Amino acid sequence: MPYPNQHAAPQMSADGMLRCRMKKDEFGPGIHAIYCVRRSDSKSVLQSVRFDREKFTEAEAKAWLKAHDMAAGGFEPATGKAKK
């Protein structure tokens, strides 16, 4: 699901998760982490990384992911548009 103000880089599917929580600026200013608890073993895992579009272009976010050995295959750029 595209977000208006954040580029999203899923690291794994959210299927099978009990709950999720965002930790703002977890990886630096404007880089947020979404951690989820897996239903199967109750372990917390990094589900997604999100980038503030005011601080990162799409290219900058993808470069950051590559530099940190994180997945960029499901990358969704911010739309810049609010949901209706």
- Number of Cβ atoms within 10 Å of the Cβ of 58: 14
Residue 32 maps to a domain:
yes
**Number of domains observed in the structure of the chain:** 1
* CA-wise closest residue to 5 among 73, 77, 59: 77
Q: Answer yes or no: is 80 within a domain.
A: no
Residue 42 lies in a domain: yes
The answer to whether residue 52 sits within a structural domain is yes
Torsion of CA 57, 52, 77, 74, to 10 degrees: 110
**Structure pTM?**
0.89
The answer to whether residue 73 sits within a structural domain is no
d(CA 28, CA 9): 15
In a domain, 79, yes or no: no
Residue 54: give the domain boundaries.
6-67
Q: Are strands 17-23 and 31-38 parallel, antiparallel or unpaired?
A: antiparallel
- Tokens 């548009």 belong to which residue? 81
Is 72 within a domain? no
The per-residue pLDDT for range 21-80, each reduced to its tens digit, is 999 999 999 999 999 999 999 999 999 999 999 999 999 999 999 999 999 999 999 998
